[in-house]
């Protein structure tokens, strides 16, 4: 009986914590018409000088954009989606987005794509924020470790 209360309290706290606290989930999804979701990059090319960046962050979080030294901010909506539109100069532009201590930085070149540069790979990178398998594994591990404590009293031979 004395072990049931801590276990019940732990489960109650686990399920009452807002899901937004599990993982930050700060990501850049698109650069103009380029889908960069799940892709690792440090240099991108784009032909249009008017670029809209979209991504996800914690709901209502402030996202700070720094592009070639000029800073601006945008706020993520209640679903965590944000967008930022900027007019960039031809050539290399240093782009950085920051929110909640996470930073995404890369160089965006406005102009024709060089012939020797390929397209973005379509990687199957898991999305940040999926915590259900981790919680299930943790719960099962605690259950397996604590099972002998519950069974010890029932099956202890009397001397």
Helix (H, G, I), strand (E, B) or coil at 93: strand
Q: Are strands 102-110 and 43-46 parallel, antiparallel or unpaired?
A: parallel
The pLDDT assigned to 11 comes to 64
pLDDT tens per residue, range 51-104: 999 999 999 999 999 999 999 999 999 999 999 999 999 999 999 999 988 899
Residue of 54, 43, 49, 51 whose CA lies nearest to 82: 54
Element (H, E) at 104: strand 102-110
Question: In this structure, what are the phi and psi dihedrals at residue 75, rounded to the nearest 5 degrees?
Answer: -115, 135
Q: Which range (105-109, 122-126, 144-148) has the least confidence?
A: 122-126
* Tokens of residue 150, six digits: 């519950």
* Count of other CB atoms within 10 angstroms of residue 96: 14
- Look over the chain and give the mean of its residue pLDDT values, rounded to a whole number: 79
The pLDDT assigned to 25 comes to 76
| Separation of alpha carbons 50 and 102, rounded Å | 25
pLDDT tens per residue, range 6-65: 666 666 566 665 544 444 578 999 999 888 887 778 899 888 999 999 999 999 999 999
Confidence of residue 130 (pLDDT cuts 50, 70, 90): low
Domains defined along the chain, listed by start: 24-126 (2.60.40.10)
């Amino acid at each position: 009986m004395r072990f049931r209360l801590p276990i019940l309290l732990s489960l109650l706290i686990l399920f009452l914590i807002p899901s937004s606290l599990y993982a930050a989930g700060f990501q850049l999804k698109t650069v103009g018409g380029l889908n960069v979701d799940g892709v690792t990059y440090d240099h991108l090319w784009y032909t249009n000088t008017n670029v809209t960046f979209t991504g996800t962050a914690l709901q209502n979080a402030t996202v700070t954009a720094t592009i070639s030294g000029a800073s601006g901010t945008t706020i993520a909506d209640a679903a965590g989606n944000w967008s930022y539109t900027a007019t960039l100069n031809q050539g290399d532009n240093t782009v950085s987005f920051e929110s909640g201590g996470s930073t995404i930085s890369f160089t965006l070149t406005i102009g024709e794509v060089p012939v020797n540069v390929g397209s973005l790979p379509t990687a199957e990178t898991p999305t940040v924020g999926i915590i259900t398998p981790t919680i299930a594994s943790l719960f099962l591990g605690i259950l397996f470790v604590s099972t002998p404590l519950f069974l010890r009293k029932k099956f202890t031979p009397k001397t």
